[in-house]
Amino acid sequence: MTQKTEPRVALVTGASRGLGAAIAEQLALRGWQVVAVARTVGGLEELDDRVKAAGLPGAGALTLAPMDVTNDDAMRHLCRSVHDRWGGLGLWVHAAIHAAPLAPAGHLDPKDWDKSIATNIRATGMLIPMVEPLLRAHQGTALFLGDPRGGQMYFGAYGATKAAQIALARSWQAETVKHGPRVVIATPAGMPTATRARFFPGEDRSPLADIQTEAARILDQL
């Protein structure tokens, strides 16, 4: 009797552009079933088009989920749907981020500050307990993307909330060493993303790492 193999299922939050989109694309091309979450419908559709255009035999399928990670009810419903369809997750990649414009700490915009907290900290804290049982069911891995710019000049809103997000991930990592799920924090190289362009307009992009290459490197290290 042939043993049934569980499908490799990945949830990628923040999958419409940048490194999140590249990781989702790489996963699909490697045969994963990918649930791609983002607010930008057009970006998700472009991701789907790229995977289909590659035409690789054995490529996985994309499930596009246009929703906001700060919407607790929507994310809870999505996680329940993942459980009902696949029973769990092999991988969660959390790439969703709000990158507030650079500003001195004494001149933070209240709306950007609130959105940074909601997306970068609160949503992460709400998602971890939703996703943890799904990862445990398939002995899965959670991947967070670190950024060392916390505390640098003008990076107040982004840097502080991103650092808090990673601090939360590190706590989860320490708590789950014995029983799982595995929590990995990777620090990507500089890449020519739209977020970086907002931070460093006019920068010479030629020395920066290729996004797809960096996505492949991070996944290979997992």
The model's pLDDT over 149-174, given as tens digits with 9 standing for 90+, comes to: 888 999 999 999 999 999 999 999 99
**Long-range CB contact pairs, 75-78, < 8 A, 24+:** 75/37, 75/123, 75/126, 75/127, 75/130, 76/130, 78/35, 78/37
Examine the pLDDT at 73 and tell me if it is beyond 70.
yes
- Is the Cβ–Cβ distance between 127 and 47 less than 8 Å? no
Examine the pLDDT at 98 and tell me if it is beyond 60.
yes
DSSP conformation class of 165:
H
Examine the pLDDT at 76 and tell me if it is beyond 60.
yes
Examine the pLDDT at 2 and tell me if it is beyond 50.
no
Amino acid 34: pLDDT: 98
5 falls in which pLDDT band (50, 70, 90)? Answer: low
- Is the Cβ–Cβ distance between 137 and 87 less than 8 Å? yes
> Which CATH entry fits the domain spanning 9-221: 3.40.50.720, 3.30.565.10, 3.30.70.360, 3.40.50.300?
3.40.50.720
Q: What is the pTM of this model?
A: 0.94
Residue recorded with tokens 């209240």: 110
Please report, for the chain, the start and end positions of each structural domain, with discontinuous segments joined by +.
9-221
Amino acid 1: pLDDT: 46
Neighbours of 86 (CB within 10 A): 18
Cα dist. 215→13, 15, 145, 149 in Å?
15, 12, 11, 20
End-to-end CA distance of the chain: 31
Query: pLDDT for 99-108, tens place per residue?
Result: 999 999 999 9
Mean model confidence pLDDT for the chain: 94
Instruction: Report the distance separating Cα 158 and Cα 42, nearest Å.
Output: 25
Query: pLDDT for 14-62, tens place per residue?
Result: 999 999 999 999 999 999 999 999 999 999 999 999 999 998 888 889 9
Comparing C-alpha atoms, which of 183, 75, 67 is closest to residue 127? Answer: 75
Amino acid 58: pLDDT: 80
Amino acid 59: pLDDT: 83
Amino acid 60: pLDDT: 83
85 falls in which pLDDT band (50, 70, 90)? Answer: very high
Report, in this order, helix, strand and coil percent for the chain, each rounded to 5. 50, 15, 35
Examine the pLDDT at 217 and tell me if it is beyond 60.
yes
